[in-house]
């Protein structure tokens, strides 16, 4: 049985009600709960959480699935706070042991001290920016993908813990041109490809 830990990082703040990411997180839970080969735990960063219990979820999981909007090209501050608190709590308790270096050779092996080796993670993000802002010449992101550009640090953060990445999925233009039924259908196909084929 594959153990799935789903995190809804869709923070409620300002004009954002977090509804899109809550919907995607709900669809993720339903997808895995409808298959007996998966066991699910969840966290919603808008609700109270216990740090030790969150660390235990990372240690328990085979796959961590993150759902987050992108605000000003970064994670929402509530989701970043969650990660800072939980990963700090996880020092020598299952998330990471050290930065991987030794005093004998301090310039080598940085980023190899994670304790989550053998585990995987998947990321979904939602953007106001259209897909073309990342793909077309002369557009804002200079033909740099979400994963290699704004979310490069997020992926390195997870690599630091020892986890490896599954293919991400990014939802674009969700403020001006949202098509939630289409996005859900595409997302279910993405999950099917990664987990059921």
Work out the angle at residue 17's Cα, subtended by the Cα atoms of residues 12 and 21, and round it to the nearest 5 degrees.
85
Q: What pTM was estimated for this model as a whole?
A: 0.96
Q: How far apart are CA 31 and CA 37, in angstroms?
A: 11
Per-residue model confidence as pLDDT tens digits over 68-91: 999 999 999 999 999 999 999 999
Q: How far apart are CA 177 and CA 183, in angstroms?
A: 11
Residues 59 and 3: beta-carbon distance below 8 Å: no
CB atoms within 10 A of CB 59: 15
Per-residue model confidence as pLDDT tens digits over 162-188: 999 999 999 999 988 889 999 999 999
Q: How far apart are CA 140 and CA 144, in angstroms?
A: 9
The confidence score (pLDDT) of residue 197 equals 82
Q: How far apart are CA 106 and CA 100, in angstroms?
A: 9
Domains of the chain: 2-195 (3.40.50.360)
pLDDT greater than 80 at residue 97: yes
Which tokens in the block code for residue 101? 């270096």
């Amino acid at each position: 049985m594959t153990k799935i830990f789903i995190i809804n990082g869709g923070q409620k703040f300002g004009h954002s009600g977090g509804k899109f990411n809550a919907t995607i997180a709900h669809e993720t839970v339903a997808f895995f709960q409808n298959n007996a080969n998966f066991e699910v735990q969840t966290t919603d960063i808008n609700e109270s959480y216990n740090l030790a219990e969150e660390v235990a979820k990372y240690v328990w999981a085979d796959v961590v699935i993150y759902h987050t909007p992108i605000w000003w090209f970064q994670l929402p501050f509530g989701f970043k706070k969650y990660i800072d608190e939980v990963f700090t709590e996880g020092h020598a308790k299952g998330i990471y042991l050290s930065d991987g270096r030794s005093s004998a050779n301090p310039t080598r092996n940085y980023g190899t001290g994670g304790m989550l080796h053998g585990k995987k993670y998947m990321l979904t993000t939602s953007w106001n920016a259209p897909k073309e802002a990342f793909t077309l010449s002369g557009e804002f992101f200079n033909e740099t993908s979400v994963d290699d550009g704004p979310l490069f640090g997020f992926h390195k953060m997870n690599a630091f813990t020892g986890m490896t990445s599954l293919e991400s999925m990014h939802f674009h233009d969700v403020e001006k041109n949202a098509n939630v039924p289409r996005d859900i259908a595409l997302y279910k196909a993405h999950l099917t490809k990664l987990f059921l084929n």
